[in-house]
Amino acid sequence: MRAARGATVLLAVGVAGALTLTTGCSAPKGRPTATGTTPPSPAPTTPTPTDPPSETPTPTPTPTWDGQVKVLGDGSTSYTGPQPKQPTPEKLKPGEKPPQFVVFSWDGALEGDDRLFSRFRKLGAENNAQMTFFLSGIYTLPKSKRTLYHPPQHDPGSAAIDFATDAHIKDTLEQLRLAWQDGNEIGTHFNGHYCESKGGKDWSAEEWKSELDQAVSFVTNWRTNTGFKDLPPLPFDYTKELVGGRAPCLEGQKNLLPAEKAAGFRYDASSPGEFQVWPVKKEGIWNFPLQLLPYPGKSAQVLSMDFNFLANQSGNTTKGDQRKYDAWEKETRDGYLAGFERVYNGSRAPLFIGNHFEDWNGGIYMQAIEDVMKNVCTREEVRCVSFRQVADWLDAQDPQVLDKLRQLDPGQPADWPRLVR
């Protein structure tokens, strides 16, 4: 199984220029869509630890609560106590096999006419799965107030995605409220989804700080910006709950990390791709990349995101040959499951999957994810969790044990009594 790290990589090569998804093409139901949302495809290298093994763990603190709900700021958010349904991270006992973590994450996190946010929130609750929803901040900002957004290197009020309708903002706020109460994490996908020229890869650390600050501001001031008076506040303090994000198009991590570190982030999920190995930290922040999974029927691997399966199946269109939908859906599902089985029966490295709420190629990628969630999340020793929960668990472990786990190839069966002491 050691050949996994040296296998051919099958990515959406050159997609930033070759694949352009026109706004409205992928979501005819009125849901805001992004253009050029495909991640880049650098040649991945085997990650190596970048922080000293003796680094002090920083688990999520459990605040004391007096039982009183505290409305914050303009009433957009509130503190209702520690988040419900959170597992307690435990250090591995000698000889114990690590649990198999699986993270389903969603970029944008808008409840549009297709109701995909609510669909997968309910599906997660039914299958013992908690997830990470990366919210685009401007999805809480009405179009009439769009000039409040000042994107780096672009005109005020502009964005590479559509602003949400008032109805969609209300529906999204409701889903965010319910998702958090279900134990899911609300991270950030930042704001304008700018990629390529003058996008995240060209932004300085200060520009990323501005983008992040604005994302937080839009969420914590939605009541003022929208004028909505008939909705309750979000049941969490976003300034404290927000501990991680994913950059649009997976671009700009180098300058993004200092901004995130200054904001107290625990992790970043913006890396454009690595092998299925145990995570390391970059600049003191956990690096949770998309991962290379076996591509069914090919001696190659593909990034663990819906867009990359699409790019390899229908190229530059989100409405490919309908006669191939069934085969493509099976190919996508089998790819995710192959990546799961490789680590579940091998190194037990966490599996990270990235998605968008979309209906590309007839919704086959949504159905594939639903099938995978139902298949794996109820299995023995599997935990379908949020990125934040993975960070909590990693910080609770012996750094020397984590170093040993990182030396395993994805499908390599481990001698757990020898590794975990």
Distance CA 285, CA 259 (A): 11
Tell me which residue of 369, 358, 361 sits closest to 311, measured CA to CA.
361
**Cα–Cα nearest to 191, from 235, 234, 241, 154:** 154
What CA–CA distances, in Å, run from 160 to 37, 202, 223, 321, 347? 10, 15, 24, 27, 39
CA pair distance 226, 315, nearest whole angstrom = 39
Q: How high is the pLDDT of residue 247?
A: 98
Cα 307 from Cα 314, distance rounded (Å):
10
Cα angle 295, 245, 227 (rounded to 5 degrees) comes to: 125
C-alpha torsion 55→59→65→69, nearest 10? 120
Q: Which helix (H) or strand (E) holds 210?
A: helix 205-220
Contacts of residue 297, defined as CB under 8 A and 6 or more positions apart, other chains included, come to 331
> In a 3-state reduction of DSSP, which class is residue 327?
helix
pLDDT at res. 62: 57
Residue 406 backbone phi and psi in degrees, to 5: -70, -20
Walk along the chain (421 residues) and give the pLDDT tens digit of each residue: 333 444 444 544 333 322 322 222 323 233 333 333 333 333 333 333 334 433 444 555 555 788 899 999 999 999 999 999 999 999 999 999 999 999 999 999 999 999 999 999 999 999 999 999 999 999 999 999 999 999 999 999 999 999 999 999 999 999 999 999 999 999 999 999 999 999 999 999 999 999 999 999 999 999 999 999 999 999 999 999 999 999 999 999 999 999 999 999 999 999 988 999 999 999 999 999 999 999 999 999 999 999 999 999 999 999 999 999 999 999 999 999 999 999 999 999 999 999 999 999 999 999 999 999 999 999 999 999 999 999 999 999 999 999 999 999 999 989 999 999 9
Q: In Å, how far from its chain's centre is CA 151?
A: 22
- In terms of DSSP H, where are the helices of 274-398? 306-314, 325-344, 360-376, 387-395
Q: What is the pLDDT of residues 44-57, one digit of tens each?
A: 333 333 344 334 44
Residue among 232, 269, 266 nearest 250 (CA): 269
Distances (CA, A) of 231 to 75, 148, 172, 177: 10, 22, 12, 11
Q: Report pLDDT for 65.
A: 83
Q: Residue 144, Cβ neighbours under 10 Å: how many?
A: 12
Terminal CA-to-CA distance of the chain, rounded, Å? 25
Task: Quote the pLDDT of residue 2.
Answer: 37
Question: What's the pTM?
Answer: 0.88
Q: What is the pLDDT of residue 54?
A: 37
State the DSSP H helix or E strand holding residue 181, giving kind and residue range, or none if neither: helix 166-181
* Angle, helices 360-376/306-314, rounded to nearest 10 degrees: 130
Name beta bridge partners: 301. 9, 294
Question: Which pLDDT belongs to residue 50?
Answer: 39
Cβ of 98: how many Cβ atoms within 10 Å? 23
